[in-house]
């Protein structure tokens, strides 16, 4: 094995593996360093609900055989109402999806080293990164290093590139279940749907979900941000596991359901606007940035797009006869990220914070508001288009807006 590469990538998640796929396809020498053992990969990191859409599958050449189920609709639930929107999607078997990305990258020439936890950067005399240490005292050198380790971010944090704030950390837990009544008469038909529920009694300061994987099987979970809103609505001493168990115990759709053995997934991500994403010889991608969708927590597509933006930036630099890898040359990545990966990020974060600030009764009204608007309003609001967001705001939301403003000023 060589110890000198064009690019070294820390982390074999969707972002890291996709970046390796793109670069290897362009014949660059790429090595990916992954913490887990190859025999168990991705047991520890199999944490995503893995709901995605046809645009991701087509853009990145993802085969149907990693799909657990194809869905027709997205359903939003409030405590007493729901809204259905036609939006074809796919629920992936996340472990199979990750293994596909690794094997496809290998076929293009990317090298993978497992049992290779990256610990810190190797710096030159001028303070510029030249490589990384991994698996104890092992070393690898590269023209460009990419951190795709997610919130751990050992290289990005050592280089002072990212600042992940604890109050913006979202935590989640998910069960894969059998025997779920996905067509219960009290609720929307979820047999071919991905459902997200806004209800502080179930997930204070966040949301819960049911993603159908079969006629009576589903991924079921909750997620919330550990912020002031969560603390306002939370039950004292309750854990994320406890909230999910309470929902399963009290929702009639789970009366005859059971959790599949070994199918409990946990994860965390940060919901915030990224600051710096690069420096000399270095890029941060995926959840390291962070890149997760602030409103609904979708991370796969955005993580993959951030990987492609990074690969395009690296390709541009290394194609140049001088092979520049300084911060100014790599700044293209930040531009592509804000233009193509997560445009209108500020507006979308505003919508996210307002949404989770609202009380339960406002969620019921939101369902009515969505039904009276055209089908594109939710999609446009989700993209951060202010006109669409304005259609969902009323005069009696002024106290809510004032409360948000006071919290922001504070």
Question: Domain for residue 56, yes or no?
Answer: no
Residues 154 and 240 in one domain: no
Question: Domain for residue 55, yes or no?
Answer: no
Residues 32 and 127 in one domain: yes
**What is the model's pTM?**
0.90
Residues 77 and 220 in one domain: yes
Cβ neighbours, 10 Å, residue 253: 21
More confident residue, 409 or 50: 50
Which CATH number covers residue 337?
A: 3.50.50.60
Question: Domain for residue 63, yes or no?
Answer: no
Residues 180 and 77 in one domain: yes
Residues 104 and 213 in one domain: no
Question: Domain for residue 40, yes or no?
Answer: yes
Of the residues 341, 357, 372, the one at which a domain ends = 341
Structural domain for 369, as ranges? 345-409
* Tally of structural domains, the chain: 3
Residues 101 and 188 in one domain: no
Which CATH number covers residue 80?
A: 3.30.9.10
Question: Domain for residue 64, yes or no?
Answer: no
Instruction: Please tell me whether residue 379 adopts helix, strand or coil conformation.
Output: helix
Rg (C-alpha) for the chain, rounded Å, is 22
Question: Domain for residue 9, yes or no?
Answer: yes
Of the residues 270, 304, 321, the one at which a domain ends = 270
Question: Domain for residue 54, yes or no?
Answer: no
Residues 24 and 143 in one domain: yes
List, in order, residues 6 or more apart from 323 with CB less than 8 Å away: 143, 317
Q: How far is residue 198's CA from residue 355's CA, in Å, rounded to a whole number?
A: 9
Residues 86 and 111 in one domain: no
Task: Give one DSSP letter per residue of 45-105, joined into a string.
Answer: T-----EE-HHHHHHTT--GGGEEEEEEEEEEE-SS-EEEEEEEEEEE-HHHHHHHHHHHH
Residue range 371-385: average pLDDT?
78
Instruction: Please tell me whether residue 13 adopts helix, strand or coil conformation.
Output: coil
Residue range 355-380: average pLDDT?
84
Of the residues 243, 270, 297, the one at which a domain ends = 270
Instruction: List, for residues 151-210, the tens digit of each pLDDT value.
Output: 889 999 999 998 877 777 788 999 999 999 999 999 999 999 999 999 999 999 889 999
Question: Domain for residue 300, yes or no?
Answer: yes
Instruction: List, for residues 273-312, the tens digit of each pLDDT value.
Output: 778 899 999 999 998 887 766 556 677 898 999 999 999 9
């Amino acid at each position: 094995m060589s110890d000198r590469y064009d690019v070294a990538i820390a982390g074999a998640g969707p972002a890291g593996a996709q970046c390796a796929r793109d670069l290897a396809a362009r014949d660059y020498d790429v090595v990916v360093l992954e913490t887990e053992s190859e025999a168990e990969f991705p047991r520890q990191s199999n944490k995503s609900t893995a709901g995605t859409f046809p645009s991701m599958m087509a853009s990145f050449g993802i085969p149907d055989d990693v799909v657990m189920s194809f869905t027709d609709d997205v359903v939003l639930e409030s405590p007493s109402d729901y809204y259905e929107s036609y939006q074809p999607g796919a629920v992936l078997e996340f472990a199979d999806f990750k293994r596909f990305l690794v094997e496809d990258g290998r076929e293009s020439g990317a090298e993978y080293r497992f049992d290779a936890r990256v610990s810190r950067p190797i710096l030159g005399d001028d303070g510029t990164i030249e490589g990384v240490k991994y698996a104890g005292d092992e070393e690898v050198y590269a023209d460009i290093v990419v951190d795709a380790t997610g919130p751990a971010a050992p290289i990005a944090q050592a280089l002072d590139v990212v600042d992940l704030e604890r109050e913006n950390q979202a935590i989640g837990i998910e069960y894969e279940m059998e025997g779920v009544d996905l067509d219960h008469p009290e609720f929307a038909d979820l047999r071919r749907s991905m459902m997200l529920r806004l209800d502080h009694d179930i997930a204070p300061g966040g949301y819960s979900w049911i993603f159908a994987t079969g006629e009576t099987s589903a991924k079921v979970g909750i997620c919330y941000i550990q912020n002031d809103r969560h603390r306002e609505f939370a039950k004292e001493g309750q854990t994320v596991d406890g909230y999910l168990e309470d929902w399963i115990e009290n929702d009639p759709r789970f009366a005859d359901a059971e959790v599949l053995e070994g199918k409990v997934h946990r994860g965390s991500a940060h919901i915030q606007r990224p600051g710096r994403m690069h420096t000399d010889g270095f890029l941060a991608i995926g959840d390291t940035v962070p890149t997760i969708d602030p409103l609904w927590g979708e991370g796969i597509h955005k993580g993959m797009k951030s990987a492609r933006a990074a690969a395009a930036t690296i390709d541009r630099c290394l194609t140049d006869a001088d092979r520049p890898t300084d911060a100014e040359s790599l700044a293209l990545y930040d531009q592509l990220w804000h233009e193509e990966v997560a445009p209108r990020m500020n507006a979308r974060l505003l919508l996210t914070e307002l949404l989770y600030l609202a009380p339960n009764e406002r969620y019921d009204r939101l369902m009515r508001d969505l039904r009276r608007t055209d089908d594109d309003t939710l999609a446009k609001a989700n993209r951060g288009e202010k006109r669409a967001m304005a259609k969902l705001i009323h005069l009696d939301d002024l106290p809510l807006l004032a409360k948000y403003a006071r919290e922001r000023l504070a």
